[in-house]
Amino acid sequence: MQVLFLSLTVFIVIKAFNIKNRLYALLIAGILVTFPAIAETNIFFHDAAPYFMAALLSIAGFYVTKLYKFGWIAGAVLIMLSLAIYQSKITLAMIASLIHLIIFILKENPKFINFIKYAVRYFLLILGGLVMYYVSLFVMNISATYEGMGDLSLSSLSGSDILRTYKEVYYYFFSNSFRIDNQILTIAYGFILLLGLCLLIIITIKITIKQENNIF
């Protein structure tokens, strides 16, 4: 089942960003499958299926929000269900939303009001999902203290916490002392990072060329 959920997640990402080139689709699939937040789930293989289902629900919530003006309502329900399964997968919807806004600015050169409309949609998606999730926990008298999630707030973060997060990301990929004992795995992650960077550069160049052609 985890393979099915992961495949559907990749399919929705490719559909959401209108990726038609097969090479790009293959690169995106490779990046998603080997990305640490996804790949690490297989460590808990007996729970992998519901975890990947949470990832699918999170991305699906982003997709319906992107497609429809009031899609954030249904999207928020999907985010709530994703949170109920595995809280950390909400970050997939957040990252996908941010990437779409960046591409929207680069590709469409939109009016500020059109950008704000999308930004508000995604804000309501995440906020709505969180509110419904915490309301459901309150109604059912369930604590949300897993891995400190119940204590998470903007006031609980400091500049040093944010800086430490970036340092841990760096050590994850480039230090054998942080969960990476296999040099082959390190090389694989580096290769995927390189492919992702190349993909970003190619897309940026294509968008720039298209905009220049439209000018002339």
Q: Give yes or no for residue 111 having a pLDDT over 90.
A: no
155: which DSSP letter?
G
- Residues of the chain with pLDDT > 90, as a percent, come to 11
**What is the 3 state secondary structure string of 16-79?**
HCCCCCHHHHHHHHHHHHHCHHHHHHHHHHHHHHHHHHHHHHHHHHHHHHHHCCCHHHHHHHHH
Query: What six digits make up the tokens of 130?
Result: 């969180």
H/E stretch holding 9 reads helix 2-16
Q: Which pLDDT belongs to residue 146?
A: 55
Q: What is the pLDDT of residues 163-190, one digit of tens each?
A: 777 777 666 656 655 444 455 556 666 6
Q: Which pLDDT belongs to residue 100?
A: 87
Q: What is the pLDDT of residues 2-40, one digit of tens each?
A: 778 888 888 888 888 888 888 878 878 877 777 666 766
Q: Give yes or no for residue 151 having a pLDDT over 50.
A: yes
Q: Which pLDDT belongs to residue 109?
A: 72
pTM beyond 0.75, yes or no: no
Q: Check residues 87 and 175 and name the one with the higher pLDDT.
A: 87
Q: Angle 182-184-186 (CA atoms, 0-180°, nearest 5)? A: 75
* Model confidence band, residue 108 (pLDDT cutoffs 50, 70, 90): confident
Q: What is the pLDDT of residues 193-204, one digit of tens each?
A: 777 677 677 767
DSSP string, 176-187: TTSS---HHHHH
What mean pLDDT, rounded, does the chain reach?
76
Q: Which pLDDT belongs to residue 178?
A: 46
* Model confidence band, residue 154 (pLDDT cutoffs 50, 70, 90): very low
Query: Using CA atoms, how far apart are residues 176 and 183, in angstroms rounded to an integer?
Result: 8
Distances (CA, A) of 14 to 29, 71, 104, 128, 207: 8, 19, 16, 25, 18
Query: Using CA atoms, how far apart are residues 13 and 17, in angstroms rounded to an integer?
Result: 6
Q: Which pLDDT belongs to residue 144?
A: 58
How many C-beta atoms surround the C-beta of residue 89 within 10 A? 24
Q: Which pLDDT belongs to residue 90?
A: 85
* Domain boundaries, given as residue ranges, for the chain: 1-150, 157-216
Query: Using CA atoms, how far apart are residues 216 and 210, in angstroms rounded to an integer?
Result: 10
